[in-house]
Amino acid sequence: SGGGAFPIPREPQEDKRLFGFEEERPAWNSKLQYILAQVGFSVGLGNVWRFPYLCQKNGGGAYLVPYLILLILIGIPLFFLELAVGQRIRRGSIGVWNYISPRLGGIGFASCVVCFFVALYYNVIIGWSLFYFSQSFQQPLPWNECPLVKNKTNVEPECEKSSATTYYWYREALDISNSISEGGGLNWKMTLCLLAAWLMVCLAMIKGIQSSGKVMYFSSLFPYVVLICFLIRALLLKGSVDGIRHMFTPKLEIMLEAKVWREAATQVFFALGLGFGGVIAFSSYNKRNNNCHFDAVLVSFINFFTSVLATLVVFAVLGFKANILNSKCVALNTNKIVALLGNGIEANLIPHHINLTQVSQVSAEDYHQMTEIIRGVKEDDYEKLGLESCSIEEELNKAVQGTGLAFIAFTEAMTHFPASPFWSVMFFLMLVNLGLGSMFGTIEGILTPLIDTFKVRKEFLTVGCCVLAFSIGLLFVQRSGNYFVAMFDDYSATLPLLIVVILENVAIAWVYGIDKFFEDLKDMLGFTPFRFYYYMWKFITPILLLVLLGSSLIQLIMTPPSYSAWIQEEAKEQTLRFPPWGIFVCISLVVMAIMPVPVVFGLRYFNIIDENTSGLSTVSYKKGRIIKESARPGEDDDTSLIQGKSPSEAPSPMPGNSIYRKQSGGGSGAPDADTAPNGRYGIGYLMADMPDMPESDL
């Protein structure tokens, strides 16, 4: 889903002149390309490693019920809202919210800040996937077994206490430190991978729209090919059905817990990419009469089915892994029983049909039968025998998510696949594609407003943005970097995005006016949308979002900020509290992301940036220079920027084709003071002074 990632031919549209030149608006090549772009943006790593985990943790198949209900109550209405607003006003996020209500112009900037925070750590995950991808071209895979201590014959103790894949992830790949306070210097392997990831993003974005149509077809469709191949392969393995059965067995009592609903709502929210501004930007290149209601429903359900498909794959593979571990457990404990015969366990307790001379032939059922009998006879002394229960259910209940699922549980399962390097290459290539698809859309959410504001060339800004992000990203590839990724993932996006989306909803339903918006939709779609949306937008969705925001805040306050650290000596994870400076960083991430909203509101409210520029001269602060200009006669307010003042369009409640206003003065060096709603501070949409530069190069 990416910026500049799609070849969009320019389609001329009438009455858009800028400095007397024709201004053309790019449009999508085809409906398919647009849908794939939206799908690529919304389907990301979360579908593969967050959704299955939530499913398992929150009652298996029962979790799909709250998820679907909330998708219909929150997801689809808000997704439809963003699509419709972008398509109608034909602007990126900042332009849209400036137009709806200049005082709420900060919403767009808040989206940009969140996009930047997310891009910083999201690309680190792509870097990790690239590292594993590059290591997958060998047989056996390097995480297949524990390495030996250098120049000795014994195994690494850290690996022996954990497992080969866990050791490889924490020690070989991340070389992780014991806590967030121990920086430990840069990890060079990961630094190079992060550089490669940023290079890929930069190259895909810099070429803009010429070269990357093929990239998008590949990056959106390839993950589905891999998931389907994995599902078929996994279903042919022993134990996969156990995993799927475990996943779909509904635990109905869990559905009554508030936590389940909160997590389902948060997931719906992130899965669709609401509030990032990517959805608005993409839909702003549609034809005016495109049926965006159909798109909203289609993309939401494609996203839902992708999550379910990924969950099937994950549980089939985890079922297979649980089966293998269970077999090992049975063999190990059967050997214990053999050793204890006549020495704590009488031989006559073993059923006749079980042949203990061939331990490998003893099945899980046989083992459970033996332990039941021994437990019955040795009631009090059973614990001392040290026999484990060896149950597949227990193995499957160990919930794993995120990096633990992708880089530990899944990699371990793949080592047991026939032709494991092939499957490993496919899996990590899929993760890279899923990540890049979302990454392109996220970066576009940063570039578009900046290009429109500072009128720099896209190439320079793209390179500058990527270099800056890579430099800050070095924080995430030091030895303690994984802890910072967890911190950013938990704190930089959730609350700010929720607040942004609540404000978007309120801006349309209450500030702009829901009836007016329905008129616009009718004009645009050719039919009146269902009344369902009227009540959703006006009452139900904002109330649900406020409840979600409240419960998220309470949860944040109740649970002290903590992270899961890997302790090298004990070779296991341990939950540690963030140090005071860490808590400060967590809070400042949330504050920085939300800051633009009150700042812009304040500047507008106290007329530091006027909502209505009078005929008096105004001062424009542009890139450090103060330019004194006299305002044009007859232009009394900023929205005329968007309204175009052409007779045909003037009555329309939202601007149609003439988004750009003719500029008097024929392109004198600096734009006039009120070129943009908040152009005086260089934050906002200053119109391009290039003849055919679209408002975004999406």
Within this chain, do residues 304 and 381 fall inside the same structural domain, yes or no?
Answer: no
Give me the residue label for tokens 């990032």.
Answer: 276
Give me the residue label for tokens 């919930």.
Answer: 399
Within this chain, do residues 407 and 367 fall inside the same structural domain, yes or no?
Answer: no
22 pLDDT higher than 90: no
Within this chain, do residues 379 and 419 fall inside the same structural domain, yes or no?
Answer: no
653 pLDDT higher than 70: no
**Among 10-24, 173-187, 303-317, 442-456, which stretch is predicted with the lowest mean pLDDT?**
10-24
Say if CB 234 and CB 309 are below 8 A apart.
no
Contacts 24+ apart (CB under 8 A), 365-371: 367/330, 367/333, 367/334, 370/334, 370/337, 371/333
Within this chain, do residues 379 and 428 fall inside the same structural domain, yes or no?
Answer: no
Is 438 assigned to a binding site? yes
Is 303 assigned to a binding site? yes
Assigned domain for 569 exists: yes
Domain count within the chain:
2
Please choose, from the candidates 410, 404, 405, 412, the residue with its C-alpha nearest in 3D space to the C-alpha of residue 164: 412
Is 678 assigned to a binding site? no
550 pLDDT higher than 50: yes
Say if CB 327 and CB 239 are below 8 A apart.
no
CA 96, 99, 100, 106 dihedral sign is positive
- Taking residue 176's Cβ as centre, other Cβ atoms within 10 Å add up to 21
Report d(CA 152, CA 155) in Å as an integer.
8
Assigned domain for 9 exists: no
Say if CB 416 and CB 319 are below 8 A apart.
no
Report d(CA 183, CA 257) in Å as an integer.
39
Strand 572-577 to 562-567 pairing = antiparallel
Say if CB 697 and CB 451 are below 8 A apart.
yes
pLDDT for the residue numbered 304? 93
Within this chain, do residues 75 and 153 fall inside the same structural domain, yes or no?
Answer: yes
Assigned domain for 8 exists: no
Report d(CA 43, CA 38) in Å as an integer.
8
Assigned domain for 475 exists: yes
The residue out of 397, 426, 450 marking a domain boundary is: 397
Report d(CA 21, CA 79) in Å as an integer.
35
Within this chain, do residues 392 and 406 fall inside the same structural domain, yes or no?
Answer: no
Within this chain, do residues 460 and 601 fall inside the same structural domain, yes or no?
Answer: yes
User: Which residue has better confidence, 280 or 342?
Assistant: 280
Assigned domain for 124 exists: yes
The residue out of 397, 412, 428 marking a domain boundary is: 397
Say if CB 376 and CB 104 are below 8 A apart.
no
pLDDT for the residue numbered 453? 63
- Which tens digit of pLDDT belongs to each residue from 411-427? 888 888 888 999 999 99
- Which residues constitute the domain of residue 382? 325-397
Within this chain, do residues 334 and 383 fall inside the same structural domain, yes or no?
Answer: yes
- In sequence order, the 6+-apart residues with CB closer than 8 A to the CB of 320 are 234, 237, 238, 239, 240, 243, 413, 416
Is 313 assigned to a binding site? no
Q: Is 186 helix (H, G, I), strand (E, B) or coil?
A: strand
- Taking residue 519's Cβ as centre, other Cβ atoms within 10 Å add up to 14
pLDDT for the residue numbered 226? 92
Is 275 assigned to a binding site? no
Within this chain, do residues 270 and 405 fall inside the same structural domain, yes or no?
Answer: yes
Within this chain, do residues 48 and 112 fall inside the same structural domain, yes or no?
Answer: yes
Assigned domain for 647 exists: no
Within this chain, do residues 462 and 548 fall inside the same structural domain, yes or no?
Answer: yes
Say if CB 46 and CB 54 are below 8 A apart.
no
How confident is the model over 58-82, as a mean pLDDT?
89
Is the entire prediction scored with pTM above 0.85? no
78 pLDDT higher than 90: yes
pLDDT for the residue numbered 339? 83
Report d(CA 300, CA 297) in Å as an integer.
5
User: Domain holding 506: CATH number?
Assistant: 1.20.1740
Within this chain, do residues 160 and 274 fall inside the same structural domain, yes or no?
Answer: yes
Helix (H) or strand (E) holding 643: helix 640-643
Assigned domain for 681 exists: no
**Among 133-137, 476-480, 528-532, 613-617, which stretch is predicted with the lowest mean pLDDT?**
613-617
The residue out of 347, 381, 397 marking a domain boundary is: 397
pLDDT for the residue numbered 616? 28
What the block records as the tokens of 553 is 């805040």
User: SS in 3 state form for 350-408?
Assistant: CCCCCCCCCHHHCCHHHHHHHHHHHHHHCCCCHHHHCCCCCCHHHHHHCCCCHHHHHHH
Average pLDDT, the chain: 78
Assigned domain for 670 exists: no
How confident is the model over 498-510, as a mean pLDDT?
91
Contacts 24+ apart (CB under 8 A), 225-228: 226/426, 226/427, 226/429, 226/430, 227/306, 227/309, 227/310, 227/313, 227/430, 228/309
pLDDT for the residue numbered 25? 53
